[in-house]
Amino acid sequence: MVAAEIPDIVVGRLPLYLRALTQMASEGKLITSSQELGSRLGISPAQIRKDLSQFGEFGKQGTGYNIGFLAEQLRSILHVDQVWDVALVGVGDLGRAVAHYAGFLERGFRISALYDNDPAKIGTRIADLVIQDSAELVTDLRRRGISVTMLAVPATEAQAIADRLVEAGVKFILCYAPTSVRVPETVRVQYIDPVVHLQRMTYYRR
Amino acid sequence: MVAAEIPDIVVGRLPLYLRALTQMASEGKLITSSQELGSRLGISPAQIRKDLSQFGEFGKQGTGYNIGFLAEQLRSILHVDQVWDVALVGVGDLGRAVAHYAGFLERGFRISALYDNDPAKIGTRIADLVIQDSAELVTDLRRRGISVTMLAVPATEAQAIADRLVEAGVKFILCYAPTSVRVPETVRVQYIDPVVHLQRMTYYRR
DNA sequence: TAGATTGTTAATCGATTAACAATC
DNA sequence: TAGATTGTTAATCGATTAACAATC
């Protein structure tokens, strides 16, 4: 049961499987198949079986997968059978919306710290959290042992803040700023830039 | 000069190239190389050259790429040398933040219609736009010829709204709802779900 | 049992990289 | 010219799919 080297691209699909399974469970379904899951997600059944088989044997021939059991396994694999404390840096319009979003907790994350560098915002509250001064970022995150952060600052500030996050020992950064940041290999970054997604589509203008 | 079949994954990188080039231009740089571009983006120089060569010869041996020229070419390839009207459906916290975001226009998109089904919101304004009733979605989008939309409604409503968008002739949907939607093959969907990105990272917990 | 679906293998398909001639 | 970097080819690497024995 030694963890083999799982391709990044496979890991990337696991959260989609988990999300679909959770949805099925909420619809009262108990069992599904690679066929059904695949048709919901637009992924081939063979690929789903292959992906899952990297981690174990979760299904039953002739029957399919127990939705609750498979979801539980995926939560464990993705390490979201626990709740991660997340710090959000940058409380502009987007940061505010993210801070208010209620959907994190049930999927393994809890926003538990907010930072901004605007004196007018520091000390005010959003969703029960006091906005703290970004100047305290490094000592504070380090002290609290927070390793997951979301970056919702302007693109021009993203690299500087990312450097501070790295300094604070942060391991995972979800970057909403429309720019790439450079970090050591020990730190992982994921990006969300709506314009990138839009441009990926308009290429296919007919 | 017949458009060859370009892999999706290549198309997906073009907006990143464009974003980095635009940033370089704003820094006053005039020339770059696949080496430099690659190191900013964490992509190999060979891959960048290969990707670009699918569309033409944009560089000069020994010199590299003219940043302004290459950016212009990419805008043309991605069809963002024009401005696309975008409709945003769902004006909750996230939709509001998206509507206020000033960064769309210079990258080829303009939010020009807002929809919600909450009577308390309909008729009010956000960023100079009057929120319209979702009930008018189909006729309205069709009349205005809008083909790009952003979907910021709850997951439970996403499929129903997506069906209406398809009915209205929409071709591109950027889905912020944490769910997959089924649409005909003629319609493209891109997804933004922050939790999916977070879970992709926490898998690598050490 | 008969029907269905998994887990897995082998084959296919596609993407990335290394290397280098061309040339600015 | 000498140095640098492109565009492109061929080789390598990796991912997806088809097919089917196993088995519930």
**Domains in chain A: boundaries:** 3-77, 84-196
Nucleotides of C under 7 A from a protein CB: 2-9, 14-19, 21-24
Distance B5 CA to C13 C1' (A): 15
Domain B3-77 shares a fold with domain B84-196? no
CB-based contacts of A182, cutoff 8 Å, min separation 6: A159, A162, B40, B42
Q: How many CB atoms lie within 10 A of CB B3?
A: 8
Is B84-196 in CATH node 3.40.50.720? yes
CB spacing of B174 vs A190 below 8 angstroms: no
Pairing of strands B148-151, B172-175: parallel
Per CB-CB distance under 8 Å, the chain A contacts of B83 are none
Compute φ and ψ for A131, nearest 5 degrees.
-75, 125
Q: What is the pTM of this model?
A: 0.96
Asked if B13 and B44 touch (Cβ cutoff 8 Å), the reply is no
Question: Which DSSP helix (H) or strand (E) runs through B57?
Answer: none
Q: Which residues of B touch A78 (CB under 8 A)?
A: 199, 202-203
Cβ of A200 and B178 within 8 Å? no
A99-134 tens-digit pLDDT:
999 999 999 999 999 999 999 999 999 999 999 999
Report A:160-189 residues touching B (Cβ under 8 A).
171-172, 174, 178-180, 182, 188
Interface of A with B in 99-118 (CB under 8 A): 100-101, 103-104, 107-109
Nearest-CA distance A168 → chain B (Å): 17
What is the residue whose two structure tokens read 């006053």? B28
Listing DSSP states for A107-159 in one string gives GTEEEEEEEE--TTTTT-EETTEEEEEGGGHHHHHHHHT--EEEE-S-HHHHH
Q: Is the pLDDT of residue A206 over 80?
A: no
At residue B86, the 3 state secondary structure works out as strand
> Domain spanning A3-77 has what CATH number?
1.10.10.10
Predicted confidence (pLDDT) per residue in B106-157, tens digit: 999 999 999 999 999 999 999 999 999 999 999 999 999 999 999 999 999 9
Which pair of structure tokens corresponds to residue A26?
Answer: 């909420």
Is residue A201 within 8 angstroms of chain B, CB to CB? yes
Q: What distance in Å separates residue B200's CA from the closest CA in chain A?
A: 5
How many beta-carbon pairs under 8 angstroms link A with B? 173
pLDDT tens digit sequence for A143-194: 999 999 999 999 999 999 999 999 999 999 999 999 999 999 999 999 999 9
Contact residues, B window 128-147, toward A, CB-based 8 Å cutoff: none
pLDDT tens, position by position, B11-28: 999 999 999 999 999 999
